């Protein structure tokens, strides 16, 4: 039980660093390109996800398994979490909510738990 809590805390710290990457990239794109809000969010989310994968692999879960297999699994989990984010952006659009940062935050939060549990019990399950 303690190990899982420790992993969740480390996952959160790593996630905070990815959150910064996500936030900066998404907001730069939102201010400088004609892309949709979701496209801006998706680009930031995926770049933050790459940094999260590397740090989680090395520090949180300390994996030595094939990085290509784990990377593909991590990317698949990120796609599921991104789908949850898409639902948040779609709901905000339907409701006429026009605040990018708040929508970005809710979409990111929606994906956090999905990311942790699917990665812990699928991508890095061999370490549990």
Are the beta carbons of 126 and 65 closer than 8 angstroms? yes
Percent of the chain topping pLDDT 90:
45
- pLDDT above 70: residue 20: yes
Report the alpha-carbon angle 22-23-26, nearest 5.
80
Are the beta carbons of 15 and 78 closer than 8 angstroms? no
Mean per-residue pLDDT, 105-128: 84
pTM as predicted: 0.74
Domains of the chain, by residue range, sit at 2-127
pLDDT for 108 equals 87
| 113 or 28, greater pLDDT | 28
pLDDT in tens, 66-98: 999 998 998 899 899 999 989 998 999 899 988
């Amino acid at each position: 039980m303690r190990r899982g809590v420790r992993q969740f805390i480390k996952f959160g710290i790593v996630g905070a660093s990815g959150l910064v990457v996500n936030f900066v990239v998404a907001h730069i794109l939102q201010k400088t390109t004609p892309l949709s809000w979701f496209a801006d969010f998706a680009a930031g989310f995926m770049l933050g996800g790459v940094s999260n994968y590397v740090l989680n692999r090395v520090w949180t879960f300390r994996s030595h398994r094939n990085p290509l297999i784990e990377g593909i699994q991590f990317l698949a989990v990120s796609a599921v979490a991104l789908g949850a984010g898409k639902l948040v952006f779609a709901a905000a659009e339907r409701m006429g909510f026009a605040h990018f940062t708040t929508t970005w935050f809710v979409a990111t939060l929606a994906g956090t738990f999905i990311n942790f549990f699917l990665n812990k019990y699928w991508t890095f399950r061999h370490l549990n």
